């Protein structure tokens, strides 16, 4: 939940590990813009393909590096929950996710996950681990993921 300009402003305030704030390059500005207001949880490759239309010789490496920086700064959330590509979420407030577990068959006859991922505004800070099962862990936060079938997969799979 941010605009590209807000990201630029936030970055100018921040310090990275090295001590200096990230530099703002045209490539990065474009990546921020691509993330702006997105609720689709794009993959790095989604972002890459989108910015490539404007700066055709941008490299995937640049996209990955930039996204990783934003994650480190806490401006972006990285979701790595299906064993597939990471997905990125510009929304960083406490919320949950709803993920589709349907699969479809690709050209090579292989099952590929639908992977549709949606935000759910609710969070569940009240959930706790029973004392006797904490094993000395210092719990920082929790995450709730709801799994199910999206409307398209219900129809396709006859669920």
Residue ranges that bind DNA, judged by CB under 7 A: 16, 18-20, 22-28, 43-45, 55, 57-62, 64-66, 68-69, 80, 84-86, 108, 110
Contacts of range 55-60, beta carbons closer than 8 Å, 24 or more positions apart = 55/26, 55/27, 55/30, 58/27, 58/30
Is residue 147 part of the contact set for a second copy (CB under 8 A)? yes
Site pattern 117..136 for a second copy (x: CB under 8 A): -xxxxx-x--x-xx--xxxx
Largest CA distance in the chain: 56
Nearest-angstrom CA–CA distance, 7 and 34? 12
Site pattern 72..91 for a second copy (x: CB under 8 A): ------x-xxxx--x-----
The window from 8-16, 26-34, 49-57, 146-154 that contacts a second copy (CB under 8 A) reads 146-154
- How far, CA to CA in Å, does 47 sit from each of 19, 35, 44, 90? 28, 8, 5, 12
Cβ atoms < 10 Å from Cβ of 136 = 4
Is residue 23 part of the contact set for a second copy (CB under 8 A)? no
- Least spacing, CB of residue 149 vs DNA, in Å: 21
């Amino acid at each position: 939940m941010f605009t590209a300009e807000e990201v630029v402003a936030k970055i100018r305030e921040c310090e990275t590990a090295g001590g200096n704030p990230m530099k703002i390059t045209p490539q990065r500005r474009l990546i921020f813009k691509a993330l702006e207001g997105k609720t689709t949880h794009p993959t790095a490759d989604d972002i890459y393909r989108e910015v490539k239309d404007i700066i055709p010789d941008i490299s995937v490496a640049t996209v990955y590096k930039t996204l990783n920086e934003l994650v480190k700064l806490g401006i972006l959330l990285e979701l790595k929950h299906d064993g597939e590509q990471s997905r990125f979420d510009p929304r960083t407030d406490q919320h949950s996710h709803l993920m589709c577990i349907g699969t479809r068959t690709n050209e090579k006859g292989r099952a590929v996950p639908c992977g549709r991922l949606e935000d759910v505004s609710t969070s569940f800070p009240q959930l706790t681990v029973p004392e006797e099962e904490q094993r000395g862990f210092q719990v920082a936060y929790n995450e709730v993921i709801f799994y199910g079938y999206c409307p398209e997969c219900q129809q396709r799979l006859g669920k």
